[in-house]
Amino acid sequence: MAEATDDRLRFLIERIERLEEEKKGIAEDIRDVYAEAKAVGYDTKAIRQVVKLRRMKPDDRAEMQAVLDAYCQALGLG
């Protein structure tokens, strides 16, 4: 039984290592796309914010916008 458990543990660790390596590659690809966007004149901070907003559920996005608007108004920014 211990050998089967050891094999399972080894399999899980190797799987995690492969996924971590894939994640590293994907992160590099994402950096490359942001660099490309910057090279053609886009504001990467704004792009990151848009990506973040698109990831949110519409209700959460609307709630966040309402809070942000209220804060800006309270501070005389809008």
Note whether 38 and 1 are same-domain residues: yes
Instruction: Indicate the pTM of the whole model.
Output: 0.73
What's the total number of domains in the chain? Answer: 2
Note whether 76 and 48 are same-domain residues: yes
pLDDT in tens, the chain (78 residues): 677 789 999 999 999 999 999 999 999 999 999 999 999 999 999 999 999 999 999 999 999 999 999 999 999 997
Range of the domain at 72: 44-78
Note whether 28 and 7 are same-domain residues: yes
Note whether 38 and 54 are same-domain residues: no
Give the chain as a DSSP string.
-HHHHHHHHHHHHHHHHHHHHHHHHHHHHHHHHHHHHHHTT--HHHHHHHHHHHHS-HHHHHHHHHHHHHHHHHTT--
Note whether 62 and 51 are same-domain residues: yes
